[in-house]
Amino acid sequence: MVSDVVYEVRPGGNLGGHLRVPGDKSVSHRAIMLGAIAEGVTEIEGFLQGEDSLATLKAFQAMGVPIEIPSAGRVIVRGVGLHGLRPPNDALNLGNSGTSMRLMSGLMAGQRFDTRLTGDASLSRRPMGRVTGPLAEMGAVIETTGSGTAPLHIHGGAPLHGIDYAMPVASAQVKSCLLLAGLYADGRTCVTEPAPTRDHTERMLAAFGYALERRAGKVCIDGGGSLRGTSIDVPADISSAAFFLVGASIATGSDLVLEHVGVNPTRTGVLDILRLMGADIELRNQREIGGEPVAELHVRAARLHGVRIPEELVPLAIDEFPALFIAAACAEGETRLSGAQELRVKESDRIQVMADGLRALGVYAEPTADGVVIRGGRISGGRVDSHGDHRIAMAFSMAGLRANGVVRVLDCANVDTSFPGFVEQASMAGLSVSADRQR
Ligand code: S3P
């Protein structure tokens, strides 16, 4: 039987001190992928050694790319060039990682050999038609299950040609998948997004010396070039920092500094939304490192109030809603979210699972098709099922700071996909949390 991890959070306390949360997951995936297909060596600092980015790393090792981890957070990738990957012996198992599967489907579509991409139960339920559809328009040959999900069987040797694609959903994973396929395509591949999404792929391709053309809402890439190995400094992940931004905001007396956090403007929706709610967050020492903006975030407890979340901020905070829902539960008045139907197809259905968990703790939460209404109020102790979703597990841990009884969060093992060491770091900052492994 698979072991489960249960978090037990004792009520009360606050957060303080200085913390550097692990490296950005999106940037870590891309550093391995681009490093692998570059010419020469890429040195990565601050790499996230979580299960998701390690799944990407192992997949490229399985395709013959020499990759070493000489010390924590340091990774050396000896790039094999655009056409140097070798056929893997087995299917590439990408675990829980949607980013690995969607981005790699683009990259693998350009290879001369076949690949099979598989994942865990959650990943095998997530929609892949959003990438296999436009890839087929480029000439790729990919088999999915009848419902358009993984396992994916990607046939090698199909010649790709550039397309001009308008994405129906604002998705950085789809955009990045098509740009990676575009490296192997004949001619120009262009992607238009309905709203801005994270642009780490564009920034990192530029850092690897690959030209692309960016205009408002549209990015184009020409196939047939090459990437040059480089050095990448991965900032701390703002999506992991978000739990602490919320925890410190809701717990009286908190005063916390989060170090070296990536503050790319396509990722900072969480800061905007928390500030609209009245949060006290200050950015210090803003600088740019390797093409990505970084800052210290200083957060102090504040009285939060409910807001109507502006829809244009949704894609810029897409992974932070579990944490933001906890902020809403602790705010005065009502918070309304709409335009966020994508939350239903993340690692879990985050609208339903969060609403169920909030209700289990006595909070009013009413899901809608594309969002939720939450009324701030008292949080009681209770049991919450995270449904194996790392961000839901961490969000409910922070709710313990304001609960009037013990909060138990079930099915937390997947926290290791994005935030190894969460319990230790949260405890150091002042959260009374312990993890219990059960069989
Ligand atoms: C990611 C993009 C987002 C995000 C995911 C990581 C990426 O997904 O939710 O955790 O690294 O490109 P979508 O692009 O599907 O919204």
Residue identifier of the C-alpha nearest atom 15 of ligand 1: 171
Cα–Cα distances in Å, from 72 out to 22, 144, 175, 346, 422?
A: 11, 37, 31, 29, 16
State if residue 395 touches ligand 1 by the CB under 6 angstroms criterion: no
pLDDT value of residue 438: 80
Q: How far is the CA of 151 from the centre of ligand 1 (A)?
A: 19
Give the span between the Cα atoms of 28 and 388, in whole angstroms: 22
Rounded to 5 degrees, φ, ψ at 304 are: -95, 150
Give the span between the Cα atoms of 16 and 258, in whole angstroms: 10
Give the span between the Cα atoms of 114 and 385, in whole angstroms: 39
For residues 310-328, average pLDDT: 98
Q: Domains of the chain, with CATH numbers?
A: 4-23+235-438 (3.65.10.10), 25-233 (3.65.10.10)
Q: Residues 221-247: pLDDT tens digits? A: 999 999 999 999 999 999 999 999 999
For residues 56-66, average pLDDT: 98
State if residue 176 touches ligand 1 by the CB under 6 angstroms criterion: yes
Q: CA angle at residue 135 from 130 to 140, to 5 degrees?
A: 140
Using left for φ > 0, alpha for ψ between -120 and 50, and beta otherwise, residue 64 falls in left
| Residue that the structure tokens 């244009």 belong to | 312
Give the span between the Cα atoms of 397 and 107, in whole angstroms: 37
Confidence band for 404, pLDDT divided at 50, 70 and 90: very high
Q: How far is the CA of 220 from the centre of ligand 1 (A)?
A: 20
Closest to 44 in 3D by CA, of 62, 61, 68, 26: 68
For residues 326-343, average pLDDT: 98
* Contact call for residues 222 and 267 (beta carbons, < 8 A): no
Confidence band for 290, pLDDT divided at 50, 70 and 90: confident
* Contact call for residues 383 and 408 (beta carbons, < 8 A): yes
State if residue 239 touches ligand 1 by the CB under 6 angstroms criterion: no
Q: Residues 178-228: pLDDT tens digits? A: 999 999 999 999 999 999 999 999 999 999 999 999 999 999 999 999 999
* Contact call for residues 32 and 67 (beta carbons, < 8 A): yes
Give the span between the Cα atoms of 396 and 410, in whole angstroms: 10
Best of 27, 101, 318 for a ligand 1 pocket test (most atoms within 8 Å of beta carbon): 318
State if residue 198 touches ligand 1 by the CB under 6 angstroms criterion: yes
pTM recorded for the entire structure:
0.98
For residues 52-64, average pLDDT: 98
Catalytic residue numbers read: 319
For residues 129-133, average pLDDT: 98
* Contact call for residues 296 and 257 (beta carbons, < 8 A): yes
Give the span between the Cα atoms of 297 and 237, in whole angstroms: 12
Quick one: which H or E segment has residue 102?
Answer: helix 98-109
pLDDT value of residue 1: 39
Closest to 375 in 3D by CA, of 415, 336, 425, 410: 336
Q: Residues 249-265: pLDDT tens digits? A: 999 999 999 999 999 99
pLDDT value of residue 3: 58
As a whole-number percent, the residues of the chain with pLDDT over 90 amount to: 98
Q: Residues 112-126: pLDDT tens digits? A: 999 999 999 999 999
* Contact call for residues 256 and 248 (beta carbons, < 8 A): yes
Residue identifier of the C-alpha nearest atom 13 of ligand 1: 171
Give the span between the Cα atoms of 439 and 304, in whole angstroms: 39
Ligand 1, residue 201: give the atom nearest the CA.
12
Q: How far is the CA of 170 from the centre of ligand 1 (A)?
A: 10
Residue identifier of the C-alpha nearest atom 4 of ligand 1: 319
Q: How far is the CA of 71 from the centre of ligand 1 (A)?
A: 28
State if residue 172 touches ligand 1 by the CB under 6 angstroms criterion: yes
Give the span between the Cα atoms of 213 and 224, in whole angstroms: 15
Rounded to 5 degrees, φ, ψ at 205 are: -60, -40
The yes-or-no verdict on residue 2 having pLDDT over 80 is no
State if residue 171 touches ligand 1 by the CB under 6 angstroms criterion: yes
AA identity, residue 28: S
Best of 173, 344, 346, 414 for a ligand 1 pocket test (most atoms within 8 Å of beta carbon): 173
What is the overall mean pLDDT for the chain? 97
* DSSP-derived pairing of the beta strands 231-233 and 115-118: unpaired
State if residue 341 touches ligand 1 by the CB under 6 angstroms criterion: no
* DSSP-derived pairing of the beta strands 382-385 and 407-410: parallel
Q: How far is the CA of 173 from the centre of ligand 1 (A)?
A: 5
State if residue 319 touches ligand 1 by the CB under 6 angstroms criterion: yes
Q: CA angle at residue 268 from 265 to 271, to 5 degrees?
A: 140
